[in-house]
Amino acid sequence: MQADFVIVGAGSAGCAMAYRLSESGEHSVLVIEHGGSDFGPLIQMPGALSYPMNMARYDWGMKSEPEPHLGGRELATPRGKVIGGSSSINGMVYVRGHAKDFDHWAESGADGWAYSDVLPYYQRMETWDSAGHGGDPEWRGKNGPLHVTRGKRDNPLVTAFVEAGRQAGYQTTDDYNGEKQEGFGPMEQTIHNGERWSAAKAYLRPALKRQNCSLLRALARKVVIEDGRAVGVEVERGGKLEVIRAGREVVLAASSLNTPKILMHSGIGPAAHLTEFGIPVVADRPGVGSNLQDHLEIYLQMTATQPVTLFKYWNLFGKAMVGAQWLFTRTGPGASNQFESAAFIRSGAGVEYPDIQYHFLPIAVRYDGQAAAEGHGFQAHVGPMRSPSRGTVRLRSSDPNDAPRILFNYMSQPEDWEAFRTCIRLTREIFAQEAFKPYAGHEIQPGVALQSDDELDGFLREHVESAYHPCGTARIGRRDDPMAVVDPECRVIGVEGLRVADSSIFPRITNGNLNGPSIMVGEKASDHILGKETLPRSNAQPWMHPDWQKSQR
């Protein structure tokens, strides 16, 4: 079996590349994916999002090592083991990231990845469903494969959250993915006609209808390298090993946890670590598996004094009604992820652009689907966007079937604790505004008894959770940068014919959820792989708070 381009991983970036690399019909493309089908209501129904990420059938089931600064807790790190990758099990929240995130990428050596370079790719990939939604049509895409929309926003708590932000003195924004990210406003979702619109639906299915694109179900073990050139991928299928040959290039898009693992099994990574496992060193790249970043968050939960929350459906009969309505009409509460209001704010004066993100949810519930014992409630997920903590992905053994060792090193810097305490205090202030007076009861979590720095730190140590945004483990940089793994065209430094294009290449984590930026990487990398001119740079100027140096809001 062989193809011009062999892509490892049918996730967010891999699906986008399958679509773009096969688009002209001139090249054969083969996508290798270990996971199974994404058919079935639990993946396709947006309201059921807490199920697939907790199912072994769809998730790799990885965990972090005991985190030393979180009392030795091991945190779940779900990654999609299914067609569409994590875009088939995620929360369907769509955030491009702030313009300054990408400008920072360019400043740190990712030449050609500034905001003016990547904005045209965001526009190419989107179909922005603006009908009745407002938004910023000049900044959005009109006919890309990825449908982006907004929920109905008919729950009074969803609008109360935005109004409370305004009352607290913050900006509002009609489109955080447009000119102005900063402020409170509607949240966006990758949902189309009431169904999850994953990268598999947007990109892979249309690509597989072409003669020149195919999908192979197998576990990719390592890249086969001959005379310094990637010539194929060793896979395990039905208990047998075989090599899939690549006529032109191999592209790794297996996630920021599995991509570095595959690189290391292929002999590309920190030499001393590879030697430890008897793996011959092909390219000594100490950056492989380093620079691991993620977003942590807590949910601040309140009881609701009126029965306006989604808790009214949180019983057998209610869930059956919601499920039936969605199954037959693709409407109702099941047709939304229920994250319908958002905010991006700055933690203090002198912070140039937002570094705190909110997801608001009109029910008090955990990611594993456990509702708060208090009944009716609501919550804001909040966390800092640019933690200075860095972790690593390392091999556990020389067996490619073993999960990697993942240590995020969460909360390892004093700034992390300070930032989270600020998040809690700012959120309490927002929930105390007039807009929430008709609805807000008492604070469930953390609880008003916890006020001092030490009390809040104790709560954080036990309750912070990953927002599931790992990235950065094969970062992009200039070819003379010893810690860079790929150059600005996504080519692995030190090996010919091999590229990486997924969230591994992020030099620094972006502001918000990572699905949008991961797909964008797949889109832009495709042009580099095909040797095409990149899209013309945009002249659009994003909004920056005029008083950011002196004012927090």
Residues identified as active-site: 469
Closest by alpha carbon to 393, among 239, 309, 476, 288?
A: 288
80 among annotated binding-site residues: no
Cβ pair 234, 240 in contact under 8 A: no
Q: Is 90 annotated as a binding residue?
A: yes
Q: Is 93 annotated as a binding residue?
A: yes
For the chain, what is the largest distance between any 2 Cα atoms, rounded to a whole number of angstroms? 70
DSSP H helices in 266-338: 271-276, 316-329
Query: What would the two tokens of residue 360 be?
Result: 């608001």
Radius of gyration of the chain (CA): 23
- Residue 384's SS3 state is strand
Burial of 209 (0-12, 13-18, 19+ CB in 10 A): exposed
Residues 6 or more apart whose CB falls under 8 angstroms from that of 40 comprise: none
State residue 128 phi and psi, 5-degree precision: -85, 115
Distance in angstroms (rounded) separating the CA atoms of residues 325 and 259: 40
Query: Among 222, 293, 290, 287, which residue's Cα sits nearest to residue 254?
Result: 222
Return the SS3 of 552: coil
91 is in an annotated binding site: yes
Distance CA 446, CA 126 (A): 38
Q: Do 22 and 212 contact (CB within 8 A), yes or no?
A: yes
Spatial CA neighbour of 14 closest among 533, 518, 540: 518
DSSP per residue, 441-499: EEEEES-TT--SHHHHHHHHHHH-EE-S--B-TT-B--TT-TT-SB-TT-BBTTSBTEE
Q: CB atoms < 10 A from the CB of 454, how many?
A: 9
Report the binding-site residues for FAD. 82, 90-93
Report the binding-site residues. 82, 90-93
